[in-house]
Amino acid sequence: MKSKAFKNPGILIAATLILILFCSGCRMAYIFHVAAGQFRLLNDSIPVEDALKKDSLGYEQKERLRLVIGIKEFGEKELGLKKTENYETVYLESSKRPIYVVSASPRDRLARITWWFPVVGDMPYLGFFDLDKAKAEKGDLIKKDLDVILGMAEAYSTLGWFKDPVTLNLVEGSTVDLVETILHEMTHTTLYVKGQGEFNEGLAVLVGKVGAYLFLDRTYGPSHSFTVEAKKSIEDERIFCPFLNPLLKRLERLYDSQISYQEKLVQREKIFAASMEDFSRLKGKLQTDRFTRFGRGGMNNAYLMSVGLYHRNFHLFESVLKKKGNSIRDTVAFFKGLSEKEGDILGRARKWVNAGNCSRDIN
């Protein structure tokens, strides 16, 4: 998910047309809704070369669209990402981000409510093409005494089942975000492990951010504003990572304690408030707007789990990258090897690197 509160490129709505064939006992109304939305998105997309002929696109938009070809080629040839026919078309019907995302957590635990679907396994969020349906889902979950968050995604991936288009919101956005998002989604297509959301999103964040820096450095040079912004984005991950982990661990200790449910709810509000004070002191160190809206929309477990899904393990992934000679290709290959065995990939990766603190250097 990617929102103004914290920029996270990506949402997975994986092979929904295929899922219908396998979904006995699944949420059929939801499956049909997503399938219809995805079909509309794919069916109404046009080839990039046709879009470049349209007068409705401005010069900068067309430049970003032309850049997609180079991003794909760089990801495939230099980073070792899977070659697909994705991003050879563009959806120009709406400039809004295409997916509304609903996530939920228990109020007294840092845990994700997940939804199981064939092919992709447990998903830590539900994606909707319609805001009213997303709001209705949020309301139903709140009635179950859950913490809930409703956000918007910047892009989505069908994990190689269909030809994913570039969306107009990316064409109209920043160049750095475009590069990061395309590489992020290409990572999902290259390696996706059922039921391990933190691994899938954490690896995609690393490849997206570091890959964007490498691509922009090669394309525009190290002193260009795009390259500088991409590097600052990585630095902000390193600053935010040591802030987020202690906050989540403090909440975990509270929720593991023997006090009552109501007392946990009281105490967590104090932790939320203290964390916002800590963040206000941290904000001056941030160099981009990636995290500046942290907590502005209110704090709850679902929100923090959504942030943690993408950013909690950045230090771990970067530690693996360093041990692999700063090679994205070798890092992805390493995690592919870990994924061949059942069990917690992140746990095995931590054991391998014996990581303790966030990395502080990149070249």
Q: List all residues 6 or more positions away from 189 whose beta carbon is below 8 Å from its beta carbon.
A: 81, 82, 84, 86, 157, 159, 160
Q: 70: how many CB neighbours lie within 10 A of its CB?
A: 13
> What pLDDT does 357 receive?
44
Q: Mean pLDDT by 10-residue block, N- to C-terminus, for the chain (363 residues)?
A: 42 44 55 72 86 89 92 97 92 74 96 79 82 93 96 73 83 92 95 91 97 98 98 98 96 97 98 97 94 94 95 96 97 96 93 63 43
Q: Is 234 helix (H, G, I), strand (E, B) or coil?
A: helix
Q: Is position 279 within any domain?
A: yes
> What pLDDT does 10 receive?
46
> What pLDDT does 71 receive?
97
> What pLDDT does 13 receive?
43
Residue among 317, 312, 320 at smallest CA distance from 245 = 312
Q: Is position 95 within any domain?
A: yes
Query: For residue 209, what are the domain limits?
Result: 16-353
- Please report, for residues 40, 161, 172, the alpha-carbon distance to residue 17 in angstroms, rounded to integers and kept in the order given: 12, 9, 29
Q: Is position 4 within any domain?
A: no
225 - beta bridge partners? none
> What pLDDT does 23 receive?
46
Q: How far apart are CA 196 and CA 112, in angstroms?
A: 12
| Number of domains into which the chain is organized | 1
DSSP letters of 131-176?
HHHHHHHHHHHHHTTEEEEEEEES--B-TTSS-PPEEHHHHHS-HH
Q: What is the DSSP letter of 175?
A: H
Q: Is position 2 within any domain?
A: no
Q: Is position 61 within any domain?
A: yes
Specify whether the CB–CB gap between 197 and 123 falls below 8 A: yes
Q: How far apart are CA 265 and CA 346, in angstroms?
A: 29
> What pLDDT does 168 receive?
86
Report pTM.
0.85
Q: What is the DSSP letter of 285?
A: G
> What pLDDT does 308 receive?
95
99 - beta bridge partners? 153
Residue among 141, 145, 150 at smallest CA distance from 115 = 141
Q: 341: how many CB neighbours lie within 10 A of its CB?
A: 9
Q: Is 103 helix (H, G, I), strand (E, B) or coil?
A: strand
Q: Is position 363 within any domain?
A: no
Q: How far apart are CA 157 and CA 208, in angstroms?
A: 14
> What pLDDT does 236 receive?
98
Residue 63 zone, left/alpha/beta (φ > 0; ψ -120 to 50; rest)? alpha
> What pLDDT does 163 receive?
82
Q: Is position 359 within any domain?
A: no
Q: Is position 358 within any domain?
A: no
> What pLDDT does 128 receive?
87
